[in-house]
Structure 1
Amino acid sequence: MALQTRLGNRLLAALPAADFNLLAPHLQKTSFGFDAVLVRTGDEFKQVYFPLSGAISFLVEMSGGQIVASTLMGSEGAVGALSVLSPSRSRSPVTATAYVAGSALHVPVSQLQHVFEQSAAIRRVLRFHFRTQLLQLQNVAACNAVHSVECRMARWLLDIHDRGADSRIQLTQEALAQLLGVRRTTVTLTMRKLRAAGGIISEQRRMLEIDRTRLETIACECYGLMRDRVTGMYDEELLMSSPNTAHAQHCLPHEI
């Protein structure tokens, strides 16, 4: 029996039913835990993941061994989608690691490349995704250059909290160091400052309890700016879709 589901991934939800049905027979559901790796630097792209929940960070390994997070993705995106632009085998330039546990629908790269050539709607949605990712990467680069570590940590914590299902955040100091591009000693000092300011309430066993209201007053303007800009872009993209798209119950050919 087909499963009627309201898809959690915004890219898939933006597809008209006929175009979504090109992908549906090939979609499989998977779950991932905190710190799970979806793809490693240098690995061949075999699957493209459409997150339904959770948060995935893209990690860049520098020549000196330092690992830095470039951006964060949740149910608004697709991990490995750029591989559809390569007619031959492509390898990941980054490591995709889960910072919030969740689930995703995945499809073989070869199949997504096939439907990408068939469907104008799929090409439009994925190209839109590429634009939003570029916008966020540009903003992260600018934010890293001009804003303080405290403001940036508050922004990252809010970004992660937005994509989680819990009021608390499971996050290691190592992960925070990767997000901020700083040493763990700097993370420790910054967390003390955020606790003193009331943004972090407690830290126990890798679990952070935060005060969102306080963090929003500490975070740089990038948090609200990018949240509103990207949300607006997605809302506009959904309005461009067919009337039956944004709120349709997409029908999958098998239970996932």
Structure 2
Amino acid sequence: MAAIENHLIELLPRNDRRRLLDICEPIQLVLAEVIQEPGVATRHAYFPVDGFISLIARIGEHPGLEVGMVGREGMLGSNLALGVEIAPLRALVQGAGAAWRITTADFQRELARNAPLQRVLDRYIQVSMSQLAASAACLRFHQIGPRLARWLLMSQDRAHADSFHVTHEFLAYMLGVRRVGITLAAGGLQRSGLIEYNRGTLKVLDRPGLEATACACYAADGKSYAELL
């Protein structure tokens, strides 16, 4: 496993951290793999290290809409900390990379005896609830360009790189808009010198400029996380 660790695990006291990692297995998250479906029992909890996961809400026959991301700052499977085994959202690997994985049974046993882990997850769940609410408001009130800038910043934070592979079709899927809207918004960011996009590879050229362009939700999410975790 990479030396860089999951932040929630890093917050645990040394002995509690070691005991948790002893019952986790290191895995590689595979790009575009669906590792959780809504309405299905959660088989594993995941603590990403340098991969990241999109959380997608599905309504009827619609393809879905991204309502959150999980990277090194969090975990997938926080519903288990609430005593609920049924997953609420689809989880799609958006960025390949390392993660720690633990079975539901092992996680629940460890949670019952690891009070620091429960406290950390209580705070993480509060942050997640705040971010999910903000995501819904962002979708309703903010324009595509600022939302796209926010999404790119969130992805860059979790990819830990200036460049990553993404298509306009995937962006449209994640943001719940038509592809033409993404094309126009991405073109505007590129003309402003904030990003470079070529054959499916997107590179962030001006991070401060992208932060200035993003809707206020990006800074609010970061503030919420920093205050509690």
TM-score (norm 1): 0.82
1:49 paired with 2:46, answer yes
Q: Percent identity?
A: 29
Measured against aligned partners, the alpha-carbon deviations of 1:139-182 in whole angstroms (never above 9, x if no partner) come to 11222222111000001001101111332121122321133111
How many correspondences in the alignment? 228
Aligned to 1:133: 128
Aligned to 2:89: 94
Quote the Cα distance in structure 2 between the aligned partners of 1:127 and 1:178: 30
- Worse-matched range after superposition: 172-181 or 150-159: 172-181
- Worse-matched range after superposition: 65-74 or 173-182: 173-182
Question: Which residue of the other structure, out of 18, 23, 30, is the alignment partner of 2:20?
Answer: 23
Aligned to 1:178: 173
* Letter paired with 1:209: K
List structure 1 runs of 4+ shifted beyond 3 angstroms.
none
Aligned to 1:119: 114
Q: Indicate if the aligned counterparts of 2:81 and 2:121 stay in contact, CA closer than 8 A.
A: no
Aligned to 2:29: 32
Q: Indicate if the aligned counterparts of 1:99 and 1:171 stay in contact, CA closer than 8 A.
A: no
Question: Which residue of the other structure, out of 97, 103, 108, is the alignment partner of 2:98?
Answer: 103
Q: Which has the higher contact order (CA 8 A, sep 6+)?
A: 1
Q: Which runs of 5+ in 1 are unaligned?
A: 235-256
3-state SS of paired residue (1:163): helix
Question: Which residue of the other structure, out of 190, 197, 201, is the alignment partner of 1:195?
Answer: 190
Measured against aligned partners, the alpha-carbon deviations of 1:223-253 in whole angstroms (never above 9, x if no partner) come to 223223312322xxxxxxxxxxxxxxxxxxx
Query: Radius of gyration: which is bigger?
Result: 1
3-state SS of paired residue (1:131): helix
Q: Indicate if the aligned counterparts of 1:27 and 1:105 stay in contact, CA closer than 8 A.
A: yes
Aligned to 1:237: none
- Worse-matched range after superposition: 16-25 or 94-103: 16-25
Q: Indicate if the aligned counterparts of 2:25 and 2:101 stay in contact, CA closer than 8 A.
A: yes
* Letter paired with 1:59: I
3-state SS of paired residue (2:159): coil
- Worse-matched range after superposition: 8-17 or 209-218: 209-218
The offset of 1:109, in angstroms, is 0.8
Question: Which residue of the other structure, out of 82, 87, 90, is the alignment partner of 1:85?
Answer: 82
CA RMSD of aligned residues (A): 2.0
TM-score (norm 2): 0.91
